[in-house]
A = this chain, B = another copy of it.
Amino acid sequence: MAEALRIGIAGLGTVGASVARVMQAKAAELTRQCGRDLVVTAVSARDRSRDRGVDLSGAAWFEDPVALAKSADIDVFVELIGGEEGPARTAVKTALEAGRHVVTANKALLSKHGLPLAEIAEKKGVLLNYEAAVAGGIPVIKTLRESLAGNSVSRVFGILNGTCNYILTRMEAEGISFEACLKDAQRLGYAEADPTFDIEGNDTAHKLSILTSLAFGTRIASNDIYLEGISNITQADIRAAAELGYRIKLLGVAQKTESGIEQRVHPTMVPTASVIAQVHGVTNAVAIETDILGELLLSGPGAGGNATASAVIGDIADIAKSRPGFQHGPVFGRPVKELKPYKKAQMRSHAGGYFIRLTVHDRTGVFAGVARRMADSDISLESIVQQSAGSEKPSEKTVVLVTHETTEAAVRKAVDGITRDGLLTDKPQVIRIERAG
């Protein structure tokens, strides 16, 4: 049998402890699958004394993750510290430069510094694996990087943040407000004390930027992402969506268009009968559309210690099955120097259907005024319905419009016009509709 693979884990929080625990419990099976022993020989964490449900007495203890990263006694450095700067970044860079393989679950780090890190990995001929960084336990990185060789991707989209999907699922199921849902999610540990990063879409954007690079062979562009969170989604939106045959999900979408690539994160109406609409709670899902294969959908647990550990261990096993001298495929699917520049499509040129909910004055001519502004923008309407949201004052009404395919620019122009005309008593709500199978 080949020599044991020596693994150093930096960060023993929920995920790190879970990785160590599972690798110990499944040691014999992993050996069978990889043809060699996989041994955690070193760890680094802040608190040495905490009980993590795993015996780490045989592993060397490093105060400093960077010291662990350059230790000659490990073959693989597993980074589970988190954060896009600081020790995580320094340690990963150090490990790669020292010729160690690296496995990380750190989406922020990869989104911001993935390309320079990949260049080091490629130069040193080591692997940089990061399945756990996007959509937790769902094997979307391997699918894009390996399985879909030869396919040209036209669109990749998904539910990439469990917190948001949990909140939207409960808002729909229980008819409660965003604020009440968020509080409960925080109480249950599904949302952070400061939830901004999740609910405003930043976490989804980080993950999306990685998927975009893999899908389209472009350089990561984590700052060129249109961002809209879920905090302004109301029960009125959810009920109107349901009546029209839609469900609201926070999606990250990357799409090839004639003018470039769209990267956008926003609440989205998807058809209730689509597969992605059935993805509930903290579950994640990713859909990939290509020229050769067609449409592929992967769904599963997007977070949690064990689900993330599953992806980390899969990455470690891939390294264990490789042998010295083996040159794996490039980190982001193509060598960094061959990644194309990211050409951003302007959000104003985004084409698609739109859901528009307007709270208007209840007086003659308002309906006609709304319809005229739509016509002036060349927007063709699939439906225009006067609804009772139940929340209006006696002097106002709700008008819900669903457009046929139009552009973001046209919708903005029409809604701005309606606002200027003084027809509205409240802020207009605009939610994009996404095609989904």
Contact = CB atoms under 8 A, between A and B. Distances in A.
Contact of A296 (B29, B275, B300): B300
6 contacts: A273-B278, A274-B278, A275-B278, A278-B278, A292-B307, A297-B299
A299 B326 contact: no
Interface string A46-76: 0000000000000000000000000000000
Contact of A149 (B34, B152, B297): B34
A420 interface: no
Given A30-B150, A146-B142, A329-B34, A307 B294 contact: yes
Given A139-B143, A147-B310, A149-B317, 11 more contacts: A23-B150, A137-B293, A139-B142, A142-B143, A150-B314, A275-B275, A277-B278, A290-B310, A292-B306, A293-B306, A295-B300
A328 interface: yes
Nearest to A306: B292
> Which residue, of A150, A293, A322, has the highest number of chain B Cβ atoms within 10 A?
A150
A311 interface: yes
Nearest to A29: B150
A294 B329 CA distance: 29
B295 A150 contact: no
Interface in A3-35: 22-23, 26, 29-30, 32-35
B313 A33 contact: no
Interface stretch (A84-92, A331-339, A342-350, A358-366): A331-339
A147 B314 contact: yes
Interface residues of A, number: 65
B151 A147 contact: no
Interface of A: 2, 22-23, 26, 29-30, 32-35, 131, 137-139, 142-143, 146-152, 217, 273-275, 277-279, 290, 292-301, 304, 306-307, 309-311, 313-314, 316-318, 321-323, 325-330, 333-335, 338
A292 B24 CA distance: 13
A54 to B, nearest CB: 14
Contacts of A327: 2, 35, 321, 323
Contacts of A306: 292-294
Contacts of A317: 146, 149-150, 329
A293 B310 contact: yes
Contacts of A148: 310, 314
A281 to B, nearest CB: 10
Contacts of A277: 278
A300 B328 CA distance: 27
Contact of A275 (B293, B299, B313): B299
A299 B285 CA distance: 11
B310 A321 contact: no
A301 B310 contact: no
A30 to B, nearest CB: 6
A323 B295 CA distance: 31
A415 B375 CA distance: 64
Nearest to A23: B150
Nearest to A278: B275
Contacts of A142: 139, 142-143, 146-147
Contact of A333 (B33, B139, B146): B33
B147 A330 contact: no
A420 B298 CA distance: 48
Q: Which of the listed residues A278, A316, A334 has the most CB atoms from chain B within 10 Å of its own CB?
A: A278
Nearest to A18: B292
Given A321-B328, A328-B321, A296 B33 contact: no
Contact of A330 (B33, B149, B150, B152): B33
Nearest to A329: B321
Nearest to A326: B326
B292 A33 contact: no
Nearest to A30: B150
A386 to B, nearest CB: 31
